[in-house]
Amino acid sequence: MTHSPVHKAKHHLAGQTLTGAEAVVQILADEGVSVIFGYSGGAILPTYDAIFRFNQETSNKMPLIVPANEQGAGFMAAGYARASGKVGVALVTSGPGATNCVTPVRDCMADSIPIVLICGQVPAAAMGSDAFQEAPVSNIFGACAKHVFLITDPQRLEATLRTAFEIARSGRPGPVVVDIPKDVQNATTPFMGHGVLPIPGFRARQQSLEQNRLGPEQCERFFEMLSRARKPLLYCGGGVIHAEASQALRTFAQTFRIPVVTTLMGIGAYDTTDPLSLRMLGMHGTAFANYAVEDCDFLIAVGARFDDRVAGVPSRFACNAKFIAHFDVDSAEINKVKRVQWHHLGLLREALQDLHAFGVQQEFKRDFSAWHQHVAELKKAHAMNYDRQSPLIQPYEIIEEINKLTHGDAIISTGVGQHQMWAAQYFDFKRPRLWLTSGSMGTMGFGLPAAIGAAFACPGKTVIDVDGDASIRMNLGELETVTTYDLPVKVVVLNNFGDGMVRQWQKLFFKGRLSASDKSLHKKNFVKSAEADGFSWARRLDRKADIARTIGEFIAFQGPSFLEVIIDPDAGVYPMVGPGMSYAEMITGDFIPSRGTPTAATVNKSEMF
Cα–Cα distances in angstroms (integers) from residue 143 to residues 88, 175, 295, 355, in the given order: 20, 12, 39, 37
Q: Determine the residue type at 521.
A: L
Q: How many CB atoms lie within 10 A of CB 315?
A: 9
CB 419 within 8 A of CB 446: no
CB 475 within 8 A of CB 445: yes
Q: Please state the separation of Cα 528 from the chain's center in Å.
A: 30
Rounded CA-CA distance 47/52 in Å is 9
DSSP letter for 518, please. B
Q: Determine the residue type at 80.
A: Y
70 classed as catalytic: yes
Helix (H) or strand (E) holding 345: strand 342-345
CB 100 within 8 A of CB 72: no
Structure confidence at residue 555 (pLDDT): 98
* Of 537, 573, 572, 577, residue with least CA distance to 553: 537
132 classed as catalytic: yes
Q: Give 581-604 pLDDT, tens digit per residue.
A: 999 999 999 999 999 755 544 444
pTM of structure: 0.95
- Point out the catalytic residue in the list 62, 86, 133, 254: 133
- Point out the catalytic residue in the list 76, 384, 501, 586: 501
401 classed as catalytic: no
Q: End-to-end CA distance of the chain, in Å?
A: 37
Cα torsion angle, 278, 281, 285, 291, sign: positive
Cα–Cα distances in angstroms (integers) from residue 210 to residues 116, 307, 345, 349, in the given order: 23, 25, 10, 11
**Which residues share a beta bridge with 538?**
562
Q: How many CB atoms lie within 10 A of CB 61?
A: 12
Q: Determine the residue type at 181.
A: P
Structural domains of the chain, with CATH: 17-208 (3.40.50.970), 222-377 (3.40.50.1220), 395-566 (3.40.50.970)
- Point out the catalytic residue in the list 22, 31, 37, 70: 70
- Point out the catalytic residue in the list 52, 132, 591, 609: 132
Residues of the chain whose pLDDT is less than 50?
Answer: 1-7, 600-609
Cα torsion angle, 228, 233, 238, 240, sign: positive
133 classed as catalytic: yes
Rounded CA-CA distance 151/147 in Å is 13
- Point out the catalytic residue in the list 134, 166, 182, 474: 182
Backbone angles phi, psi at 284, to 5 degrees: -125, 30
Q: Give 57-106 pLDDT, tens digit per residue.
A: 988 799 999 999 999 999 999 999 999 999 999 999 999 999 999 999 99
